[in-house]
Structure 1
């Protein structure tokens, strides 16, 4: 069974929406992106919700730093997307399709990037195995949050990795306890 990882930039108060604050409010330091590089190397595929797909597909294919993502299989969970234009992209119509992808024998992790609504649905369905969070030392007060799930889904987590960088950003890697 493949590991499904939800990866997010997140503020201390849990906001994940419109993460331009990651570039405007906190000075970047190269070491904080080590986790992102590792994700790209270990991922066997990228799993996105429709909104994230629509935001990434026109931009990421031309970005050299995302060459591995552009080459790997990509899956979009959507009931309406018909003809994805981003190379090597397939559409999954349900969470059952995601479960089948997890149960498959392909190599590498399944990486969910920046798809908050999908991440909440995956947690509720018991499909999330791990969270990769870069927690920014910001309180935005308003915006879409990753936690809690609207349906009240709860999860026990155990800390697998943690590091704090010179700019105050924290890497937090959490495993879902089953």
Structure 2
């Protein structure tokens, strides 16, 4: 079974909204990852590439990332990877040309079926609503988080507030950096 991994930047109070602060990111505190930049604190993003065999997005994250990442040298290694968009509303003709094969998934069951296929890790970037939904459905296997020493008070979170059964996590790896950023990799215990 393929592993489904949520990867993201998070504030200490759990907000994943608008870390870069660029176009399409609307949080009033957007751009909070620019905090005392240390390359080693972002090394996780490069390390993930060895495990990434596909990308999964929600509709809004896909519409925001696809046209930018397609042209970005920083994201060139993603260009030819298979991409999946979990959306009930995105029409097939809205897919971005020139950014590798992209498939629209219409349900959580479609994601569960994708996980049963051959291949390696499927990584979710952005897409907080999709991550909450797939976590509630028991489909997320791992969280790769870079936690920043900032409190934003409000914004999108990857974690659900739905009353549900407990999801136990096991810490696989952690690292604190001198700028206060903490890398935390958690596996979901099944």
Contact 2:32 2:150 in 1 (8 A): no
1:70, distance to aligned residue in structure 2 (A): 1.3
Q: Counterpart in 2 of 1:51?
A: 60
Contact 1:41 1:68 in 2 (8 A): no
What is the CA deviation profile of residues 88-141 of structure 1, one whole-angstrom value per residue up to 9, with x for unaligned ones?
111001111100110001x22010111100000111111011000000000111
- Pairing partner for 2:162 from 130, 151, 165: 151
Determine if the alignment matches structure 1 residue 65 to structure 2 residue 74: yes
In 1, the alpha carbon distance for the partners of 2:145 and 2:54 equals 19
Distance in 2 (CA, whole Å) between partners of 1:41 and 1:68 is 10
CA deviations 1:43-63 (Å, max 9, x no partner) are: 110000111001101100110
1:41 deviates by 2.3
Q: Count how many residue pairs are aligned between Structure 1 and Structure 2.
A: 175
Q: List structure 1 segments (4+ residues) > 4 angstroms apart after TM superposition.
A: none
Asked if structure 2 preserves the Cα contact closer than 8 Å seen for 1:9 and 1:22, the reply is no
Q: CA RMSD in A?
A: 1.2
Whole-angstrom distance in 2 between the partners of 1:2 and 1:46:
12
| 1:145 CA displacement | 1.7
Distance in 2 (CA, whole Å) between partners of 1:87 and 1:22 is 30
